[in-house]
Amino acid sequence: MVINKSAGLLMHGTRLPENQKPDKPEATVADWLVKNYPEVRSVGDDPSVRPGIVHRLDKETSGIVVAARNQKTFDSLKSLFQNHEIKKIYAALVIGRVESARGIIDKPIGIKAGTTKRSIHSEKMQKPAKTEYRVKRYITVNDRAYTLLEVSPQTGRTHQIRVHLASIGHPIAGDKMYGGKRAALEGLNRQFLHAQTIEFVLEGERFRFEAELPEELKSLLA
């Protein structure tokens, strides 16, 4: 199952004690999957929380997500992700003018103590991370420079693209966590990060899926 996720939608909830569960839980991709494809209830590493979900996007990131409807496919897709055999391309609008037409950011990412925030400076649960990028075009808004990038993560760490781009001084527009007030852009109520394409070979067949930029990002660029 290939889904074009909207920004503002959680992938899945978290496991909470009964006394901490909200009266009205937030809607998630996992809820939609279970409702429309009940067979996913038993699929995955932790199907009670992440039924059929092989990989994730941040809440404020839109675009392509792949889910599995049976355990065999889940295991095959998981192996492809672990072996870096899945090619993903994201569209990202970043603050400032990125001078190099192409670049590679190869910096391990860890968790900042006492938070959910990731950092290249933290050694806690640090893991290797590598991101490639290519400049698509330069944009000026109210005399301020921005760069539209095509980004290909070679690993799949939490917040990887956001952390890596911020680490080279070019946080993603709208990303308050890693860009602060500097990331604010009038007319943008989310982070400008969209999972545009995904490509992989499964059981001898090559698949490629593409999701156009959502209207709110298209109109901003226009």
User: Which class for 13: exposed (0-12), middle (13-18), buried (19 or more C-beta within 10 A)?
Assistant: middle
The pairing of strands 193-202 and 62-66 is: parallel
Do 99 and 171 lie in one domain? The reply is yes
**How many CA atoms are closer than 13 Å to the CA of 126, on its beta-carbon side?**
8
Residues 6 and 92 in one domain: no
Same domain, 21 and 126: no
E-strand stretches of 39-129: 62-66, 87-95, 102-106, 110-111, 118-119
Considering the domain architecture, whether residues 78 and 186 belong to the same structural domain is answered as no
What letter would DSSP give residue 84? Answer: T
75 counts as catalytic: no
- Which pLDDT score, from 0 to 100, does residue 14 have? 73
CA dist 218 and 222 (Å) reads: 6
Pair 44, 146 in one domain: no
Tokens 């937030």 appear where? 26
Confidence (pLDDT) at 113: 81
CA-CA distance, 57 to 3, in Å (whole number)? Answer: 11
* Close Cβ partners of 47 (under 8 Å, ≥ 6 residues apart): 40, 41
In terms of domains, do 65 and 102 share one? Answer: no
Tell me the CATH number at 186: 3.30.2350.10
pLDDT digits (tens, 9 = 90+) for 30-68: 999 999 999 999 999 999 899 999 999 999 999 999 999
Q: Are residues 91 and 79 in the same domain?
A: no
User: How many structural domains comprise the chain?
Assistant: 2
- Last residue of one domain, picked from the residues 33, 55, 83: 83
Please give the residue range of the domain that contains residue 30: 1-83
Per-residue confidence (pLDDT) for residue 121, from 0 to 100: 86
* pLDDT score of 23: 62
> Of 45, 46, 58, 143, which is the active-site residue?
58
Residues 31, 134: one domain?
no
Same domain, yes or no: 128 and 25: no
Residue ranges of the chain whose pLDDT lies below 70: 15-24
Please tell me the pTM assigned to this model.
0.91
Which pLDDT score, from 0 to 100, does residue 71 have? Answer: 97
CA distance 21 to 24: 8
Q: Which of 24, 52, 83 is the last residue of a domain?
A: 83
Is the domain of 9 the same as that of 66?
yes
Pairwise CA distance, residues 202 & 222, whole Å: 37
Residues 92 and 62 in one domain: no
**Domain final residue, candidates 67, 83, 99:** 83
Does 64 share its domain with 110? no
